Amino acid sequence: MRRTALLACLLLVSAAAPGFSQPAAPNPFFGNAQAVEQGAEIYGKTCTACHGASGGAGEIAPAIVSGVQTDRRTDAQILATIRNGVPGTPMTAFTGKIADDDILRLAAYLHALRGTAIDNPSPGNVAAGEQIFFGKGQCASCHMIGGRGALTAPDLGNIAGVRKTASIMDALTKPEHHIYGDGGSHLASLPPMDTWLPAHVTTADGKTFNGVLMNEDSYSVQIMGDDQQLHLFDRSRLRRFVVEPKSRMPTDYDKKLTPDEFRDLMAFLTRQGMKPQPERGGESN
């Protein structure tokens, strides 16, 4: 009873102060294709100059949408940011500047941009897809899921949590599928390489190593060997260091699998992972 009263009171406060961050009703425009398109138009006119095209970060403001989904802000937090702005930054409050319905459309567009495969898994036989992953598709000869498989390509245990369905499909079917960030993006920290390009090393004392490039800098090189072991090198002690321009990832799965097999593989892959979670504390003690 008291709880209900408190809740009602909170809702009243929220209603009285529209700028206040509250656990809002779900955005009525989520998943509405027309509204999302209108939201994209509003984004282009209002947000691109600072945040870059498609929310990938501009020169003035950070990314709203990352190619790899590391951003843990919730839809509600993003909506509140649009409405209220961020004090002390060029991000102004848009309440009063844009009609609230349009703010909701904008938020729906950002939700659509930010969503990943796990939000909308592909139809198909998941168990059959798993068999293709570990069998006919030979995916596990390079990739790993749930500790099964190999180390010379990205672990796919959370692929559906970080990539969109179209992006997974492109990786399986298109030679040029590398996802480039927006040009204006400011990286938040030093990332490892995620190109997984084949690399060949010969050391000064004549030993050779083949594998994929995990990272490099001006003075060192890190390789995951085909022997499934990490190999770390000092650049100045290498006689030969070659990185191939194309990854080993086959991009003809739509041809080498039957349409049903491909569909099942997509059904399996688009279910691997968990939805991006808002930042939350853990149990420390």
Sequence-distant (6+) residues with CB within 8 A of 205 are: none
Nearest to 160 by CA among 135, 126, 205, 199: 126
Instruction: Give φ, ψ of 185 to 5 degrees.
Output: -65, 140
Candidate segments 2-10, 29-37, 87-95, 164-172, binder of another protein by CB under 8 A: 87-95
Q: Which of residues 201-240 bind another protein (CB under 8 A)?
A: 215-219
* Least Å from the CB of residue 51 to another protein: 9
Q: Which of 85, 181, 225, 250 binds another protein (CB under 8 A)?
A: 181
68 binds another protein (CB under 8 A): no
Nearest-10 Cα torsion for 54, 59, 64, 70:
110
Nearer to another protein, 181 or 225 (CB): 181
Q: Read off the amino acid at residue 80.
A: A
184 binds another protein (CB under 8 A): yes
85 binds another protein (CB under 8 A): no
Instruction: Tell me the C-alpha distance between 231 and 239, whole Å.
Output: 15
188 binds another protein (CB under 8 A): yes
Instruction: Tell me the C-alpha distance between 153 and 276, whole Å.
Output: 22
* Least Å from the CB of residue 69 to another protein: 18
186 binds another protein (CB under 8 A): yes
3 binds another protein (CB under 8 A): no
180 binds another protein (CB under 8 A): yes
Task: Give strand pairing partners of 209.
Answer: 201
Instruction: Tell me the C-alpha distance between 285 and 281, whole Å.
Output: 12
Nearest to 71 by CA among 107, 116, 28: 116
> How many binding residues for another protein (CB under 8 A)?
37
For every residue of 241-280, DSSP letters joined together read: EEE-SS-S----HHHHS-HHHHHHHHHHHTTSS-------
* Least Å from the CB of residue 131 to another protein: 34
39 binds another protein (CB under 8 A): no
Q: Which of 26, 90, 206, 282 binds another protein (CB under 8 A)?
A: 90
Q: Which phi-psi region, left, alpha or beta, contains residue 196 (left: φ > 0; alpha: ψ -120 to 50)?
A: left
Nearer to another protein, 26 or 88 (CB): 88
Nearer to another protein, 155 or 182 (CB): 182
Q: Which of 32, 48, 158, 202 binds another protein (CB under 8 A)?
A: 48
Task: Give strand pairing partners of 230.
Answer: 224
The sign of the CA dihedral 212, 155, 175, 109 is negative
Q: Which of 52, 124, 198, 211 binds another protein (CB under 8 A)?
A: 52
34 binds another protein (CB under 8 A): no
Instruction: Tell me the C-alpha distance between 269 and 39, whole Å.
Output: 29
Nearer to another protein, 11 or 188 (CB): 188
Instruction: Tell me the C-alpha distance between 166 and 285, whole Å.
Output: 41
84 binds another protein (CB under 8 A): no
44 binds another protein (CB under 8 A): yes
Binding site for another protein (CB under 8 A): 40-41, 43-49, 52-54, 56, 58-59, 87-90, 176, 178, 180-184, 186-190, 193, 215-219
